[in-house]
Chain A
Amino acid sequence: MEENWQKLSPEEKFEKRLASWLSPEGVEFVSKEAEAAYKGRVTRIVDAIQLKKTPDRVPVIPHVGFYPAYYAGFTPQEVMYDPDKAVAAWTKCVLDFEPDVKFSVNSALPGKVLEILDYRLYNWPGHGVSPNHGYQYVEGQYMKAEDYDALIQDPTDFWMRTYLPRIMGSLQPFALLSPLTNVVEIPMTPPNISRYGLPEMQAALEKLAEAGREALKWQRRLAEADKKLEELGFPRASRGMSKAPFDVIGDTLRGTREVMLDMFRRPGKLLEAIERVVPMMIRLGASGPTTGSPIVMMPLHKGADGFMSDEQFRTFYWPSLRQVILGLIEEGLVPELFAEGRYNTRLEVIRDLPKGKTIWHFDQTDIARAKEILGDVACIKGNVPLTLMQAGTPEAVTSYCRQLIATAGKGGGFILATGAGIEQGKAENLRAMIQCAKEYGVYR
């Protein structure tokens, strides 16, 4: 971390991040044109975010899941096991469509790493899902009701000795360990270290090291390709992700059913745990270098319309999410809240944020209303339906996008995007969407 970083104001931190996003270190642009295109793209997005001035045109950022794989003629399984295929697919997709940011190759996670870990939180192509489909979350109770106190007392210890053994078969022996904080003074050191000598624990550590080596290899291969795309003029979209604390409990730990029941059965514990997760999520979003894109993706799940009442949203979901958002803004970051499903009943509540510091990516929310209620506070992003991308015609896509630009795009503060990540869609529809921003999205 840069020296004196902690002494900088949020605004200064943001400016520093922005400067390095605009002129990324170690990136040698292939041409003056590529450099100008890169800077133009970053500036366009930043202008849309900050709500200070109108960008030159509406930025266009389609979201893709495994679309690049299908587009290049590979299955999701192939790109999760062969980094060269992943790189080829994503590179081809970016160069063919020329969106305003690179498509994130993050969908292509290394299947081998998941295999070594015997990962259980998701099914992935060839493991519980057909080779031709993307990965899917497996609903389950990975934290039991009686585990709340352990989580609240020491999240890291809970993660290491209880949670990880449950979601990764290879790390089950970690349940045999004692808390690391038991290592206190000389007499307590050997007895608490001895468990690392158990044969099953040694095997688990071997697996972890092997998975680590694989993950690193994969990461380096992809980073190399990523850099090449930057040199060709396509900026990175986001630096990483974070989550709403309620979703950490609901998606990651307890499962949908259980977290809903907890709102009735143990609301106090649930709120205490949520509060405990807040600093973890700020740390997650802010971890890593102080350079590059300031955007932190935050997929939101269980606070959507229908998932809970307004009162429940205001009690269990929003206050902690707002704390995470503000904490990230403090770090000079730009949280991008991806409201999956609909957020029509939440717009008035989520307005309570500082101006020009966030992006709200809407999926099926009424975007004209979102613009009306939220447009003076946040950059609005969205929301071409995936159904239209997959089953519609290019003409229908163009007319939808023109309408979006005319309403949500008015006066800036808007990014044209798909409602969610495209899996299988028509190339001509994607082309129509991007073309539409370039043709009709120009501000005069």
Chain B
Amino acid sequence: MPNQLVEAIANMREDEAFRLVEEMIERGEDAARILELCQEAMSIVGQRFESGSYFLPELIMSGEMLKRISELVKPQMAAKVEDRKRLGKVVIGTVRGDIHDIGKDIVTFMLDVNGFEVRDLGIDVPEERFVEAIRDFQPQVVGMSGLLTLAYDSMKATVEAISAAGLRDRVKIMIGGGGIDDTVREYTGADAFGSDALAAVTLSKRWVGAN
């Protein structure tokens, strides 16, 4: 039988979800269990996004719910519950000169619910920060986002910087954003491009050898 909390989150019933979480906390329910249910709900959201019944609003809404619920349960958590099995690591960021974050945030969200550990470098990220993050975090995949045409040059420069640092062989690079297509992929020297968040998940899974 489907859990009420899972149902509430997956169907965007925010108030009900918060009420249920509060009740569970009062009953002394384990914080880890609550987060597990959230995870379950998020994967339903992810599936509905993939199948084309959910769109940007539902992703933003469920992200908001998750954030709020994490805050609610945080005080209950004795130790860190974050020991989910991870498929791999991804570094992501919007490239230098571009300050758009919505597409990047959705990709981050989708990678996260699909089992990746994601380090989000934010927006207007200079080349050297990508390089540092690769050294430090050791991801298998690097995702670069950009909406504006100026991003093409920044992406190209970032790929070059990664090569110059001798790290190009260690990572697969994917790019995405409004106008990105194969012409841009070729121009920038990235390994692949994606036109939606789902493509980012598929590419990353393929690259880390997950099915």
Contact = CB atoms under 8 A, between A and B. Distances in A.
A264 B149 CA distance: 33
B57 A260 contact: yes
Interface in A308-327: 308-309, 312
Interface string A388-432: 101110000000000000000000000000011011100000000
A9 interface: no
Interface in B1-48: 12, 14
Contacts of A256: 102
Given A123-B99, A139-B101, A424-B149, A308 B181 contact: no
Contacts of B153: 424
Interface in A263-321: 263-265, 306-309, 312
Given A130-B97, A139-B101, A387 B184 contact: yes
B180 A387 contact: yes
A340 B12 CA distance: 28
B149 A386 contact: yes
A257 B60 contact: yes
Contacts of B97: 129-130, 133
A260 B97 CA distance: 26
B12 A264 contact: yes
Given A130-B97, A309-B55, A260 B60 contact: yes
Nearest to B99: A136
A306 B58 CA distance: 11
Interface string B114-152: 000000000000000000000000000000000011101
Nearest to A259: B57
Contacts of A312: 55, 57
B179 A385 contact: yes
Given A364-B179, A420-B179, A390 B149 contact: yes
Contact of B55 (A129, A265, A308, A385): A308
Contacts of B98: 136
A261 B179 contact: no
B54 A309 contact: yes
A387 B179 CA distance: 7
A335 interface: no
Contact of A391 (B12, B57, B184): B184
A386 B57 contact: no
B46 to A, nearest CB: 15
A138 interface: yes
A387 to B, nearest CB: 4
A306 B54 CA distance: 9
A375 interface: no
Contacts of A388: 183
Contacts of B179: 364, 385-387, 419-420
B187 A261 contact: no
Contact of B181 (A139, A263, A387): A387
A102 B150 CA distance: 24
B199 to A, nearest CB: 12
A261 B12 CA distance: 10
B181 A385 contact: yes
A139 B184 CA distance: 26
Given A391-B186, A423-B148, A138 B181 contact: no
Contacts of B12: 264
Interface string B183-194: 110110000000
Contacts of B180: 387
Contacts of B99: 123, 136, 138-139
Contact of A307 (B56, B101, B184): B56
The interface centre, meaning the residue of B14, B100, B179 with most chain A CB atoms within 10 A of its CB, is: B179
Contacts of B183: 385, 387-388, 391-392
User: Most chain-A CB neighbours within 10 Å: which of B55, B97, B99, B149?
Assistant: B149
Interface in B54-70: 54-57, 60-61, 64
Given A136-B99, A309-B57, A424-B149, 6 more contacts: A136-B148, A265-B14, A308-B56, A387-B184, A390-B152, A391-B184
28 contacts: A123-B99, A130-B97, A133-B150, A134-B150, A136-B148, A139-B99, A139-B102, A256-B102, A260-B56, A261-B57, A261-B61, A261-B64, A263-B57, A264-B14, A306-B196, A307-B55, A308-B57, A309-B54, A309-B57, A312-B57, A385-B179, A385-B183, A387-B179, A387-B181, A388-B183, A390-B152, A423-B149, A424-B149
